[in-house]
Amino acid sequence: MTQVKIIGGGLAGCEAAWQLAERNIKVDLYEMRPEKRTPAHQTQGLAELVCSNSFRSDDKLSNAVGILHEELRICGSLIMKAADEHKVPAGSALAVDRNLFSAEVTNCIRNHQNINVIQKEVINIPDDWENIIIATGPLTSEALSEFILKKSSDDSLYFFDAIAPIVYTDSIDMSAAWFQSRYNKVGPSGSLNDYINCPLNEKQYLQFVDELIEADKASFNEWEKDTPYFDSCLPIEVIARSGPQTLRHGPMKPFGLNNPHNDGNEPYAVIQFRQDDISGQLFNMVGFQTKIKYGHQTDIFRKIPGLCDAKFARLGGIHRNTYINSPKLLSSDLSLISDQRIKFAGQITGVEGYVESASTGLLSGLLMYNKLKVREQKPPPKTTAMGSLISYITRKDHVKDFQPMNINFGLFENMDIRDIRKKPKRIRDMEKKIRIAQRAESDLNKWLKSSFA
């Protein structure tokens, strides 16, 4: 007999289903694709990565994202297992072959004896459903969005998310471009050359910025006009409009790179490409989300040195993402205050990023398991990455203008470093991060032992 209904077959929904199924809980997992498609998805697979193939930093001692990676691994995350098995070179980051990653998750979910995948759109929650996790992600269907709106008696919030182009590697002119990781930092693969770099001199860069600003933009629908962008995913043309040097200190920063075609000098600006598939046939333009119309994209990008004959596997795009006002609507156990049958997980809760979404999916599954076993539904402490995220999205401090958030050190419970305050700042900051990471791992293990022993 099915005990939990999960709506959404993305990272959060699959992770929640896996955590419950591994604990012998029967799950129905609803995914509306391919019956109903979204503006951004391209495949029928579960856990499809839409915007990027990067899970960001995998440094578990000095990066908040890396700490979250490690916490997910400790908890037996399916998403991290699939990512680790299908990673591609990306410096110190964890990036994956997105097709193999999705196929791995899809295979694990579909072949689990306790998971029943139902390809059907859920437009409302029937009264006879008892335990539900809504993990429909940032592309929640209009019908279900309307149901949530009525259920919560509160406005849904929206922001735009943009997609970066992908280029066929063999179409990049390597007599102008070169392989190098920033600051020659060795990645998990042991390579110093995980990125392709295309350089621009000052004249080329300023002309590029002007063309971005003048480019014909994609038209918005009437309901989109007042929808804000998420700050960490701004289209490049929006960044360009904020000032002529902004891109050069953002996604086009040249620092730590040396052009071998110009006596090893640092270029004025650079565009980096990160491997997108395991075979290395595809590379994506790092940080180059855009809503410029397709024809104008190719015209502008092919003027970049090294891209004159570039062939694009995918051009940039933009879509509307949806998230709820979680501080007002959710309890600390991710339950909807107005209907305790329902938990939320993933980007719809206001976390931003692949691993952040997976972590809320994992926690929703674990907390639902405790609910079914009539145990306390206590999230991890704020000293952990997962606990700090839950604390952020469910805090009750009358927050105004709630915005999506990535994991960062500012969310963790403060660390006392009075004993190292006299050390040089760089050393002090690094030691503080290491202490936070060690505390997080220790406290997460204590939480797991006390909550699921």
Cα distance between residue 98 and residue 161, in whole Å? 18
Task: Please tell me the predicted confidence (pLDDT) of residue 400.
Answer: 64
Looking at residue 366, its amino acid is L
H, E, C per residue of the chain: CCCEEEECCCHHHHHHHHHHHCCCCCEEEECCCCCCCCCCCCCCCCCCCCCCCEEEECCCCCCHHHHHHHHHHHCCCHHHHHHHHCEECECEEEEECHHHHHHHHHHHHHCCCCEEEECCCCCCCCCCCCCEEECCHHHCCHHHHHHHHHHHCCCCEEEEEEECCEEEHHHCCCCCCEECCHHHCCCCCCCCCCEEEEEECHHHHHHHHHHHHHCCECCCCHHHCCCCECHHHCCHHHHHHCCCCCHHHCCCCCCCCCEHHHCCECCCEEEEEEECCCCCCEEEECCCCCCECHHHHHHHHCCCCCCCCCCEEECCEEEEEEECCHHHHECCCCEECCEEEEEECCHHHCECCHHHHHHHHHHHHHHHHHHHCCCCCCCCCCCCHHHHHHHHHHCCCCCCCCCCECCCHHHCCCCCCHHHCCCCHHHHHHHHHHHHHHHHHHHHHHHHHHHHC
Task: Please tell me the predicted confidence (pLDDT) of residue 368.
Answer: 98
Cα distance between residue 366 and residue 188, in whole Å? 30
The pTM for the full model equals 0.76
Residue 295 token pair: 């024809």
Task: Please tell me the predicted confidence (pLDDT) of residue 200.
Answer: 97
Task: Please tell me the predicted confidence (pLDDT) of residue 227.
Answer: 66
Residue 145 token pair: 């969005």
Residue 283 token pair: 């590379």
Residue 89 token pair: 């070179």
Task: Please tell me the predicted confidence (pLDDT) of residue 184.
Answer: 85
CA distances to 154, 321, 362, 434 from 157, rounded to whole Å, are 9, 9, 24, 36
Task: Output the tens digit of pLDDT for each of the chain's 453 residues.
Answer: 789 999 999 999 999 999 999 999 999 999 986 655 555 455 678 999 987 899 999 999 999 999 999 999 999 999 999 999 999 999 889 999 999 999 999 999 999 999 999 999 888 889 899 999 999 876 677 777 777 777 665 556 667 777 889 999 999 999 999 999 998 877 666 678 889 999 999 999 999 999 999 886 655 555 556 667 766 678 899 899 999 999 999 999 999 999 999 999 999 999 999 998 888 888 999 989 888 888 899 999 999 999 999 999 888 887 777 788 899 889 999 999 989 999 999 999 989 889 999 999 999 999 999 999 999 999 999 999 999 999 999 988 766 667 778 898 889 998 888 898 889 988 998 999 999 999 999 999 999 999 987
Looking at residue 124, its amino acid is N
